[in-house]
Amino acid sequence: MEMDLEKLKKVQIELAKRVELRPFESEVRFVVGLDVSYSRKLNKMVAAAVVLSYPSMRVVEYSWSVRDVEFPYVPTFLSFRELPAIEEAFTKLKHKIDLVLVDGQGIAHPRGLGIAAHFGVEMMVPTIGCAKSHLFGKWTMPTPKRGEWTPIIENGQVIGGVVRTRDNVKPIFVSPGNLIDVENAVKWALKLSIGYRLPEPIRLADKISRRIVNEGI
DNA sequence: GCGACAG
DNA sequence: ATCTTGTCGC
């Protein structure tokens, strides 16, 4: 397969320069969650985009995209595998989106461009990365109480947070994707986490994409 | 050289 | 991510 990782690293480094970390204070009406599920036998993937109203937290719209899997899973290069699908699903939405949550890292990535940051700079929309496990940066375990969080640090800079979204449940790794800073990314990841480990937008996107795969795409 | 390594 | 049985706990 024709894929030059060194070349792609340069692409990531260039795109990372376009990430803007800044306070996020705009009014939030609609939030979207993005996630991808796979059908191993069909070699296809399904990306789902779920729109929730805020603060009512109701599903007001959702869309999806089915694509052939043409890029392998290589740690730190996840966006080249899933971005085509999640961008297509996102583009199909009719609502005007205020904030996006993506399943994966934001800037907490070796070259500062996890899938959430890559998506954020290409779509130019406020984006937060929420990963279920660690990839990059030094961190310590936060206390077991919901709302508690510890910083993910690299070169003396806070690039994200390890966030406890539920009492005594394994924390999630949150980092800015674009147009938001660490504090606001953590704040919103918590506000959108209601009763479950993952924020509602991402949890529902996972459920919907998985259902589409299991119903025969 | 060795360990780590989103989904 | 997917595959895959039972099991612990609210």
Domain limits for position A183: 5-131+172-214
**Residue A212: what are its φ and ψ, rounded to 5°?**
-60, -40
pLDDT in tens, A154-171: 999 999 999 999 999 999
Nucleic strand B near CB of residue A135 (< 7 Å)? yes
Could you tell me which of A51, A60, A43, A130 has the C-alpha nearest to residue A89? A51
Q: Write out which nucleotides of chain B lie closer than 7 A to a protein Cβ.
A: 5-7
* Distance, CA of A53 to C1' of C10, in Å: 29
What pLDDT, on a 0 to 100 scale, did the predictor assign at position A3?
84
Nucleotide showing the shortest C1' distance to residue A132 CA: B6
* Distance, CA of A107 to C1' of C2, in Å: 27
pLDDT > 70 fraction of chain A, expressed in percent and rounded? 99
Nucleic strand B near CB of residue A170 (< 7 Å)? no
A65 burial (CB, 10 Å; 0-12 / 13-18 / 19+) is buried
Please state the domain count of chain A.
1
Residue A61 sits in a domain of what CATH number? 3.30.2170.10
Is residue A26 in a domain? Answer: yes
**CA distance between the termini of chain A:** 26
Nucleotide B7, nearest residue via CA and C1': A78
Per-residue CA distances from A191 to A106, A119, A145, A212 (Å): 18, 22, 15, 28
A165 burial (CB, 10 Å; 0-12 / 13-18 / 19+) is buried
Query: How confident is residue A216, by pLDDT bands cut at 50, 70 and 90?
Result: confident
Is residue A45 in a domain? Answer: yes
Is residue A62 in a domain? Answer: yes
* Distance, CA of A75 to C1' of B2, in Å: 18
pLDDT in tens, A75-134: 999 999 999 999 999 999 999 999 999 999 999 999 999 999 999 999 999 999 999 999
Nucleotide showing the shortest C1' distance to residue A102 CA: B6
**Number of other CB atoms surrounding residue A26 within 10 Å:** 11
Mean pLDDT over A173-177 rounds to 98
Is residue A136 in a domain? Answer: no
What pLDDT, on a 0 to 100 scale, did the predictor assign at position A1?
54
